[in-house]
């Protein structure tokens, strides 16, 4: 009897874990952008810089900032080059932007969730230089925190 209870509990636990990860449970990305440590104007200017850099790269213009992208080794995103990944991000759909304390640069952390909250997402770190130019874009495709 005790073994049956354990088996039923184990099956229900597995079923719950699989069901909670199902695509039907995806929460949409917030329609209002979440900002921490910066104003709407600063966020808009940052996104405009990133979109301008995308446009210039697509046009074949030289861009001098570091561009890095990666993921967990088994994820398909590791098959894409950092440039291809950067060019595909629709920066207007970034839903979370935070200013990251850094005494040498203006650094920001952005989140872009192409498939909704609770799914794999892009964490994008952007470092601006002293004159406001983009110095580095580091993109990491990763699973959400287990909350």
pLDDT in tens, 19-52: 334 444 667 767 788 999 999 999 999 999 999 9
* Residue 57 domain flag: yes
Decide if 26 is inside a domain: no
- Is the pLDDT assigned to residue 11 strictly greater than 70? no
pLDDT of residue 28: 74
pTM assigned to the model: 0.77
Domain count, the chain: 1
In a domain, 1, yes or no: no
Contact call for residues 76 and 94 (beta carbons, < 8 A): no
Model pLDDT, residue 26: 65
Residue 107 lies in a domain: yes
Predicted local distance difference test score (pLDDT) of residue 76: 87
pLDDT, position 136: 97
Q: Is residue 16 part of a domain?
A: no
Q: Which residue has the higher pLDDT, 131 or 31?
A: 131
pLDDT of 143: 92
Assign residue 124 the CATH number of its domain: 3.10.450
Instruction: Determine the average pLDDT of the residues in 115-121.
Output: 87
3-state helix, strand, coil in the chain (%, to 5): 35, 25, 35
DSSP 35-86: EESS-HHHHHHHHHHHHHHHHHHHTT----SEEEEEE-TTSGGGGS-HHHHH
Q: For residue range 66-106, what is the model confidence (pLDDT) as tens digits?
A: 999 999 999 988 899 999 999 999 999 998 999 998 877 89
Residue with tokens 């099956």: 11
Distance between CA atoms of residues 107 and 124, nearest Å: 10
Residue 66: inside a domain: yes
93: in domain = yes
Structural domain boundaries, residue 116: 32-142
The span from the CA of 112 to the CA of 140, in Å, is 10
* Count of beta carbons in the 10 Å neighbourhood of residue 41: 8
State residue 115's pLDDT score: 83
Give domain status of residue 25, yes or no.
no
């Amino acid at each position: 009897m005790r073994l049956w209870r354990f088996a039923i509990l184990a099956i229900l636990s597995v079923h719950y874990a699989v069901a909670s990860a199902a695509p039907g449970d995806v929460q949409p990305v917030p329609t209002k952008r979440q900002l921490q440590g910066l104003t709407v104007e600063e966020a808009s200017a940052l996104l405009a810089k990133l979109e301008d850099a995308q446009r210039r790269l697509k046009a074949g213009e030289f861009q001098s900032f570091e561009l890095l992208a990666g993921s967990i080794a088994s994820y398909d995103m590791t098959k894409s080059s950092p440039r291809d990944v950067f060019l595909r991000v629709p920066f207007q759909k970034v839903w979370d932007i935070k200013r990251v304390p850094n005494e040498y640069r203006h650094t920001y952390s952005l989140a872009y969730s192409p498939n909704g909250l609770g799914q794999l997402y892009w964490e994008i770190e952007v470092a601006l230089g002293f004159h406001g130019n983009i110095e580095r874009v580091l993109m990491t495709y990763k699973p959400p925190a287990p909350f």
